[in-house]
């Protein structure tokens, strides 16, 4: 039975990646919903840096076709953090309404 809160499921997924000798999650079963399959895509990521919300475009990820959960390579996630912190990478600002 698949359970997102069981760390062993993510560990098993990483073990299967190592067995395939490729760092590719395409076609793997999502560890969050346990029914969807992952596909490589590029998309928009929202990352909170200090008191700002930074939107980063064209970020590679594996996305679940059922629940939308996104999985990133460690190096990509590290880049997201670095880009969000770099003021020189900001190309424009947008206004976002906030509701309560
Ligand atoms: Zn899923």
Question: What φ, ψ does residue 4 adopt, rounded to 5°?
Answer: -60, -35
- Count of domains observed in the chain: 1
C-alpha 17 – ligand 1 centre gap (Å) = 18
The single residue listed with the structure tokens 């793997």 is 28
Tokens of 9: 């499921």
On the question of pLDDT at 72 being above 80, the answer is yes
Which band of pLDDT confidence, cut at 50, 70 and 90, is reported for residue 32? very high
Does residue 96 lie within any of the structural domains?
no
C-alpha 83 – ligand 1 centre gap (Å) = 27
CATH number at residue 55: 3.10.20.860
Provide the phi-psi class of 15: left if phi over 0, else alpha when psi is between -120 and 50, else beta. alpha
6-28 pLDDT, tens per residue?
566 666 666 766 666 557 899 99
C-alpha 5 – ligand 1 centre gap (Å) = 13
Does residue 32 lie within any of the structural domains?
yes
> What average pLDDT does range 68-86 have in this prediction?
92
C-alpha 2 – ligand 1 centre gap (Å) = 11
Does residue 97 lie within any of the structural domains?
no
pLDDT value of position 17: 67
C-alpha 84 – ligand 1 centre gap (Å) = 26
Question: Mean pLDDT in the chain?
Answer: 86
């Amino acid at each position: 039975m698949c359970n997102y809160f069981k760390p062993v499921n993510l560990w098993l997924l990483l073990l299967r990646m190592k067995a395939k000798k490729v760092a590719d999650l395409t076609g793997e079963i999502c560890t969050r919903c346990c029914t969807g399959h992952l596909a490589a895509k590029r998309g928009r990521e929202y990352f909170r840096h200090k008191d700002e919300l930074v939107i980063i475009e064209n970020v590679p990820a594996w996305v679940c076709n059922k629940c939308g959960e996104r999985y990133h390579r460690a190096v990509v996630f590290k880049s997201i953090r670095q880009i969000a912190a770099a003021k020189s990478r900001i190309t424009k600002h947008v206004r976002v309404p906030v509701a309560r």
